[in-house]
Structures are given as C-alpha cells and as structure tokens.
Amino acid sequence: MEESNDIKNSDIKSFIDKLLFLESKIGYKNTCSFLEPFNFEPMNTISLQSAAKTIADFIGLSNFTFVIGKTKQTKNTAGHIDLDNEKFVFIEIEPKQFLFPNAVLSILSHELTHKYMQVNGLYKKNIDLDEEIFTDITAIYLGLGKLMVNGARIETLDGSQKTVHTIGYISRMKMLFVYRLVCSMRKTHRGDFEKGLNWDGIQKLKYLESSFPEYLNEDFYTNEKKKELRKFYMKKIRDTQTELSMINKYNLYVEKLFLNSTENFLKSAHSDLNQSLIESQLLAQTNQLNPHYDFLNTINCFWKANSNFSEINQESKKYSQCYRNILKTIQSSDLTDNPESELFRVVSCWKCGTLMRLPKDNKYVVAICPKCNYEFVVDTTIEGLIKRGFLSKIFKD
C-alpha cells in the first residue's frame, strides 16, 4: 500500500486552528524542544515502564505513576488510558503492537498526551474522532513528534511481500505536515528536526516541503511576508467585494425593473380580467329595450375573448418562461432551500389587496375576495419549485 499525499486544504485549516488553540492555552509552558527517539525493549516490563516514564517526565507528568500493561483491544484500537485515577494511571496496549518498538513509543506518546490534556484543561470527557486527532496534534506540539512520526507507519519485508503497519488517528503524511509546521513556527534548524527521524520519514518530509512551500517555511515571521500577505488579503477582499457589488447590481435590476414590470403586468391583467368577469355576468342578461345593443355587446365580448385574452396569454407565457429560466438556474445552483407550501397559502386580492388564507397543496383554488368579490385562480402547491440538484442565463427565451 503506497503512501499518498492525503492532505486537503480543509485539513491545513484544521491543523492551524488546533495549533493556534494550543499556543494560546499552553504556549507559555512549552520548552520548544524535542524528545529524541530512544531504544528500549518493549517485551521487557522494566524497560517498558522506563520508556513511559521518560515520555511522561518530558511533558511534565513526573508526579504520576504510569503502569503499562498488555491487553487485547477492540478492532482498530492500539491502546487505551484510564484517566479516572489521580495518582496511578493505567495504560493498556494491544499485544500485537509489541512487535514494533517504534509503534509502542507512538502509542505511549498518544496515551500520555491524553493525560497531559486532562491535567491542563484541554480534555473533553466524551472522546470523539476529532478529539483523538487533536490528541495526535497535541503530542507533536509537546515535542513528541519524532516518536509519533517514526511509529505512524512501519513497513516490513518478508521475501517479496511488503506489510504496512500504521498507527495514529491521522496519516503519517498529516503528522509530518503538522511536525514540519511546528518546526517552522519554532525556527528549528533542519539538522535538529531531521535528527532521529527514520530515512523514509525524512524523504516524505522533503516531499511535503516541495508540495506545500507556501506553508512549510519561516517566511511568515518576516515583515516583507506580512506586507505581501496584507496586499494579497486586500486584493482578495476587493475582488470579492467587486463580485458582491455585481450581484447587488443584478438584484437591483431584477427587483426594480423585472419584478416591478411583472407586478405591473399582473395588476393590469387582473384588472382586465375583473372587467371581463363583469361582462361575462352581463351576458346572462338580455337588454329587452335595445336588442341591437345587446347583439353588438355580445359580439364585442366575443372579440375580447379572442383578442384580449390572446394578448394577455402571450404576455403571460413570456413572463412564465422567464421565471422558469430563473428557477432552473436557482434549482441547479443549490443557492436556496426548497420552499414551504405555507408560503403560497396567504394571497392578496389583485383588485383591493385584501389578504386571504387558502387551503394548502391545492393545484386549483378559486379564491373569492370577501371584500370586493373578485374571483381569481390560485395554485397553493410547491409543484415545479423543488430543487433537483447569472442574468445571461435567466433572460434567455
């Protein structure tokens, strides 16, 4: 299994945030030194206890007595620490891990860091994955980075068969990134931060330096870098503000011209339709005094039915198509949530403005205004508005 660069931009932000937190909380306590890798016999109880004490003393836990035991762990768990005892602290390690001394040092570093976090108020009672990742990063920050990195990935060869043994809640690549970032922060010389790392770790460290040169250097201490960054910051801000200004411009255009135009059309169309409603009701009456007038009025209504409605319908189709284009763009962009049907239940009368609450989820409701008696059709469903997945697209036909 080849080791790949699995570091994403969001990971870098997470690492920086966690290191900022650590520096703000315990930076004044940290000696900025490394615990150098050391030899020990993991199968020897005294040597194992001595290794744990060496790590504990290095991170300021010399007041505790740590008891290390071999205990079968659940799947994907290499070790466990009992944090309930104040003086004696028990650490369990999966027996299979004792085949790899560097892995045992990495496990001890992680578990002892849990205790350090508890003592220093950095510990959450309910441990989740992010907290375990934070523990790995804290261990590196405390100076246990070389132990963590050397034990994070171990490759063994049995003839032509290569076996990869991994430890940690983040990959070795991510550990190395955090380790190198901490070294840049502390202005550690290359000879010092490479000393004690295994050969493969050093090669991967150099690879990361070439992959992330903008982060893994000490330039952020210089005034030139700060000045350059401020200039870069301002450009990003101004570019984004320019884009926001264009969105606002589009919004004003849509609101003032297009939406107002739509509103005026709807009011005018409903005014014409209200007149047509009145005329249609008069058709039921016969003008006994002037049948000629009655005849001509009926013809007039026929003309309006064929002309006025045709004109309104043509205009309606233009507006409907335009709004379909708008909805299509919005639905494909994930800019908004799906509408609630409640949104379409309350309508205002197009003639007098009286508000009415209508039945929801009804495709065809004839609303009758209680004040002026104007009748009009309303669709209270959300059909056609559900998302399935700027202006140049919107105003196409």
List C-alpha distances in Å: 250 to 131, 236, 327, 332, 394.
Answer: 45, 21, 16, 19, 11
Same domain, 161 and 23: yes
In a domain? residue 232: no
In a domain? residue 233: no
Query: pLDDT tens, 300-347?
Result: 878 877 777 778 888 889 888 888 887 777 777 766 667 777 888 899
Same domain, 216 and 301: no
In a domain? residue 89: yes
In a domain? residue 226: no
In the chain, pLDDT over 70 holds for what percent of residues?
92
In a domain? residue 231: no
Residue 125's pLDDT is what? 60
Confidence of residue 126 (pLDDT cuts 50, 70, 90): low
In a domain? residue 3: no
CA pair distance 315, 273, nearest whole angstrom:
14
Structure tokens at 336: 């908004």
Same domain, 208 and 246: no
Same domain, 59 and 149: yes
Same domain, 46 and 160: yes
Is 351's pLDDT higher than 80?
A: yes
Domain that holds residue 138: 9-221
In a domain? residue 205: yes
Query: pLDDT tens, 35-91?
Result: 999 999 999 999 999 999 999 999 999 999 999 999 999 988 999 999 987 788 999
pTM above 0.75, yes or no: no
Same domain, 300 and 365: yes
Torsion sign over Cα 383, 384, 385, 389: positive
Phi, psi of 287 (to 5 degrees): -80, 95
Same domain, 249 and 301: yes
- The CB-side HSE value for 45 (13 A sphere, CA atoms) comes to 3
Same domain, 328 and 213: no
In a domain? residue 172: yes
Is 157's pLDDT higher than 80?
A: no
Residue 82's pLDDT is what? 92
| Number of structural domains the chain divides into | 2
Same domain, 185 and 144: yes
Phi, psi of 293 (to 5 degrees): -65, -40
Query: pLDDT tens, 266-294?
Result: 999 898 888 888 878 777 776 667 778 77
Is 16's pLDDT higher than 80?
A: yes
